[in-house]
Every structure is written in C-alpha cells, then in structure tokens.
Amino acid sequence: MFKFNFHVDAETSDTAFDLPKEDKTSENERETKEEVTWYQAEHVKPTEALLTNLDLYELNAKDLKVGNIELRHLIAGFVLDDIKTHQDGDSTDIKKSEDKLSDLITGVYEGGAKMWEGTDDILLYLAENFKESFWKDKHVLDLGCGSGLLGIYAVKCGAKVDFQDYNKDVLENITQPNVVLNLKDTSKDDEKLKILEENTKFFSGDWSHFALLTKDLNKYDIILTAETIYNIENQQKLIDTFSSRLKSDGLVLVAAKSHYFGVGGGLEQFIEVIKKNGIFESKNVWHTDENLKRGILELKFK
C-alpha cells in the first residue's frame, strides 16, 4: 500500500524506497536503461490559492520541534485525499505513483511526497551543530526538497531559501503549503505572498535544467539535500548542480543511506564518485546504524 509518511517514527521508518514488487522492479530497471525525457525546469510561483486553502492546511497540520525551532507540516494522507477530491488525479505525478505502488517512476516521479529518514537526520544535525545566528542573511538551496522542512528550518532561522523538487505538483501541493504554514501568525493574509516572494523561490524539473535556468541568479551559501543519490545515473547531474550553484566558500550537506536496495546508489559509492570527480573534498560528519545504515556527508570545494 502506498503511504505518505511525513514524520518518520521508529516503528514506521522506511529503510528503502518502496519500489514495485519483483516484476515491476524489473520494469523500473528497464526504464532507467532506456533514454528518459526529464522534465524541464520551471519557476513555480505561489498563487493566492495557498491563502484560500490556509484554514484547510491548518486543520491538517502537525507540529514538529527541532531544537528551538517549531515547524509545521501537512499530516500523512491529507495530500493524496485532497488531490483525489479536488483535482484531476490521473494527471498528477503523485497520483501516478500511487497507482503504480511505487515511490519512483523514472522521469515521472521522484518520491517527493514522502518524508525520508534523511530529512530528520539533517534537521537534527543542523539543530545540534549550527547556531540560529549562523543562518542570518544566508542564501540556501533545499535541493530535492519534497516536504521542504530543511529549507523551512533555514527560513525560520533567518535565511533566504530556494526550494527545488523534480515534481511541480509536489511543490504546489506539499512544499508551498508547508512554507505558508510556517509563516508568522501575526502576518496578514495579504502580506504572506509578499513574504514568500521576498524570502523564497520554488523550482521544479531536472537538476541539469534547474542549474541552467538559475545560472544568472545568486549562488548559494549552503545546499541541503536528503535521499537524492539513489540513482547512480543522476549522480553526475547532482554534482554538476552543486559545483555550478554553490559559492566558492559554500558547503553542501548530503544525507543518504549506505545502500538503496533495488536502485543501486549509496553513500559509500557516492563518496567514490566525489573522489573521482576531484571537485569537492568530502567528510563524513554524522552516521547511524539504526534501522538501516545512514550518514551525512559534508562537501566543500577543494
């Protein structure tokens, strides 16, 4: 059964991507080997519909405390039910993933509606290792953002944040509502879109297209990304995005599992790719063997 799992509890923590069963996994592997048409990048601007639905979001939100920062996010199941009720579900990538019982459909859907362990890992690491004052005036990219909680944490600490996810409907139905839920309650509704425009941007599409679309924009002090290295064939695009969009003195934090069953990538394997590229120096800054071996990698330019 496909499930949305926006908060990862010990009892329900996912240890690998929910790929289709044996016959469909083979199909997914065949798709990966075939030429894939990746979505072009797009700047996805928030609309007034976010404010129209704010009361509904509030009723379906859950609180999460990370260090001293209070975060809010949509609760499990609400997004899918809302899409089924109010949208043409057959045309959304989230609905397609549910129909295939898979969190990954190559070139179509990349798991953005689910909150993976890596998001929790980075949030805890940030709270324990970076003072809130560190974020002031920083320009941050939440790459492969999904729920957007990494970027939202940075926003609430004083940073300006761009959110990127492969799927536009993930940004519209999950990321942007979560960002709005975390705006100050004292802000008037007519001020909230202005606050979003001043402090955030949202981009969908493939990483290489995103890097090209944003090449003339200011580069980032910090890039945060969780569970994005699972596809070996996309790792070079990820590294190229880091190198083209990161400031010379910036840093990247990558949270990932040691191995992703069924898709091939993993943390140790990615470290070897980084070494061969010779662009970044890498350092393991956090790891755990709980449930499935996971870690956080820090990258800086050599």
Q: Which string of DSSP letters, residue by residue, matches 269-282?
A: HHHHHHHHH-SEEE
Q: Work out the mean pLDDT of the chain and round it to a whole number.
A: 84
Residue 182 has pLDDT above 90, yes or no: yes
Residue 278 has pLDDT above 60, yes or no: yes
CATH number for the domain formed by residue range(s) 22-301: 3.40.50.150
Residue 228's contacts (CB-CB under 8 Å, 6 or more residues apart) are: 143, 144, 238, 254, 256
Instruction: Identify the three-state secondary structure at position 43.
Output: strand
Residue 10 has pLDDT above 50, yes or no: no
Q: What does the pLDDT look like over 21-50, one tens digit per residue?
A: 333 344 454 444 567 889 999 999 998 888
Sign of CA dihedral 56, 95, 225, 62: positive
Q: What does the pLDDT look like over 91-126, one tens digit per residue?
A: 577 666 666 656 666 766 666 667 789 999 999 999
Domain spans of the chain, in order of start: 22-301
Residue 166's contacts (CB-CB under 8 Å, 6 or more residues apart) are: 39, 109, 110, 112, 144, 204, 205, 206
Characterize the bridge pairing of strands 246-257 and 69-74. unpaired
- Total-model pTM: 0.85
Residue 188 has pLDDT above 80, yes or no: no
Residue 154's contacts (CB-CB under 8 Å, 6 or more residues apart) are: 135, 138, 140, 142, 161, 222, 224
Where are the strands (E) in the chain, listed by range? 42-43, 61-66, 69-74, 104-105, 109-110, 139-143, 160-165, 200-204, 220-226, 246-257, 280-288, 294-301
Q: What does the pLDDT look like over 193-234, one tens digit per residue?
A: 888 888 999 999 999 999 999 999 999 999 999 999 999 999
pLDDT at 34: 65
DSSP character at residue 231: B
What would the two tokens of residue 24 be? 């469909």
Residue 8 has pLDDT above 50, yes or no: no
Q: State the Cα–Cα distance between residues 299 and 278, nearest whole angstrom.
A: 11
Tracing tokens 């898979």 back to the chain, one arrives at 102
What would the two tokens of residue 244 be? 């083209």
Helix, strand, coil shares of the chain as percentages rounded to 5? 40, 25, 35
Q: State the Cα–Cα distance between residues 39 and 210, nearest whole angstrom.
A: 10
What mean pLDDT comes out for the span 133-158?
A: 96
pLDDT at 264: 81
Residue 16 has pLDDT above 70, yes or no: no
Q: What's the full length of the chain, in residues?
A: 302
pLDDT at 101: 57
Q: Binning pLDDT at 50, 70 and 90, where does residue 6 land? A: very low
Instruction: Identify the three-state secondary structure at position 160.
Output: strand
